[in-house]
Amino acid sequence: MTGALDGRVALVTAGSRGIGRGVVEGFLAEGASVVLTGRSEDKGKQALAELGVGGRAHFVSGDAASRSDIDNWVAATLSKYGRLDFLVNNVGGSDGFALVHEMTDDAWLRAHDLILHSAFRATRAAIPAMLEVGGGRIVNISSVEGKVGNKATVSHYITAKHAMNGFTKAVAFEYGDKNITCNAICPGAIETDLMMEVGPKYAAENGISYEEYKAAYAKDSAIGRLNTVEEVAAMTALLCGPAGGGITGALINVDGGTAPY
């Protein structure tokens, strides 16, 4: 632990497992206090027990598709710790995989609620608190799919992640002179709990095995393997730490060299 973020407070959405959990652990290692969110109270309690940091971590439940729940995440952070310095918009995911002419409205709208609308609502709620403390850092967890469009049956996910990248640049432009930075991290494929839940469904709907699905992602990368949660967490900590103050509006790949730019 370096203590570089001592006294600072982070809010990490969908932070009980996967990429979010790694980001939470990274913040704690740097000395920050963290509020993590999720839909499951049981998974939240389990995460807090596993983290074992006492009052430095707090869980708030809620649905990322609910504006009132998102507003409550920020309110609960301020109530618990009295300030908010860092926001990591990590909620994401999609379902109902299908070609465009077969995709349902529900699948399309749900992907945008989880990825784009949740990031907008959380950012909108967090910025006033950041202005009160003289600045802050916002990190949106996007995807390599936010820079390409070469996977079938995931147009809803691809479109929402592209939009998240545009939102990142808009926030960076509007608040840069107020000491608030906003960046997006674009990870490559990472075998999280979510991938292990959703990946087999996507693979089956595209006529391949889950192992073939993972191997295709690894083959696309220059490093020949999937990325790790820890690699994304390290980039998040850099962007929120002292060295990250001059970086804003950036779409940073942590994808093993998969994206073309």
Known catalytic residue: 157? yes
Domains and CATH numbers, the chain: 9-188+228-253 (3.40.50.720), 193-226 (no CATH)
Phi, psi of 8 (to 5 degrees): -95, 160
What is the average pLDDT across 170-184? Answer: 98
CA gap 162, 29 in Å, rounded = 31
The b/e string for 237-251 (b: 16+ C-beta within 10 A; e otherwise) is: bbbbbeebeeebbbb
CA gap 107, 41 in Å, rounded = 25
Among residues 157, 175, 202, 217, which one is catalytic?
A: 157
CA gap 38, 258 in Å, rounded = 29
CA nearest to 139, candidates 92, 91, 90, 183: 183
DSSP state of 11: E
Q: Under a CB-based contact definition with an 8 Å cutoff, are residues 147 and 261 in contact?
A: yes
Confidence of residue 7 (pLDDT cuts 50, 70, 90): very high
pLDDT tens for each residue of 30-82: 999 999 999 999 999 999 999 999 999 999 999 999 999 999 999 999 999 99
Instruction: Give the per-residue pLDDT at 192.
Output: 87
Instruction: Give the per-residue pLDDT at 81.
Output: 98
Q: What percent of the chain has pLDDT over 70?
A: 100
Confidence of residue 3 (pLDDT cuts 50, 70, 90): confident
pLDDT tens for each residue of 179-230: 999 999 999 999 988 788 888 988 888 899 999 989 988 998 999 999 999 9
Bridge partners for 86 per DSSP: 10, 137
DSSP character string of 171-220: HHHHHGGGTEEEEEEEE--B--HHHHHHHHHHHHHTT--HHHHHHHHHHH
pLDDT tens for each residue of 102-139: 999 999 999 999 999 999 999 999 999 999 999 999 99
The neighbour count for residue 179, using CB atoms within 10 Å, is: 14
This prediction's pTM: 0.95
Confidence of residue 1 (pLDDT cuts 50, 70, 90): low
DSSP state of 241: S
